[in-house]
Amino acid sequence: MKTPYNLYGIKNCDTIKKARRWLEEHQVDYRFHDYRADGLDEALLQQLIDRLGWEPLLNTRGTTWRKLSDEQKSATNNQAAAKALMLEQPSIIKRPVLARNDSGTMLLGFSADGYQQFIDGAQ
């Protein structure tokens, strides 16, 4: 049987750790997909972009973004450029993304209240 939720992100991210702890404490059955260990293919990224938008997914406040050159930053001004950058450097994707498998709805970021509402909305 397919797990009801997928959690997408990077294992060593502090926010991912908080999200995973919350899901486990609330006994939510989920599968964790680590962009680094499990990979990020174009189809999965396109699903994320289609549901959430490329701009919210692009983490412009993190270390990976700050390490980019000014030219790379200014060139990342449309979906195609952002998608190429996210495929090349998955750590630039804002995280976590929690996906409900039955409906395909997704939640970007983590807050305890947001997760509670998202999970309650599924029941």
Q: Which two tokens stand for residue 46?
A: 């396109």
Q: Which two tokens stand for residue 1?
A: 């049987």
d(CA 47, CA 3): 18
Q: Which residue type sits at 104? A: G
Q: Which two tokens stand for residue 92?
A: 């630039």
Q: Which residues are catalytic?
A: 13
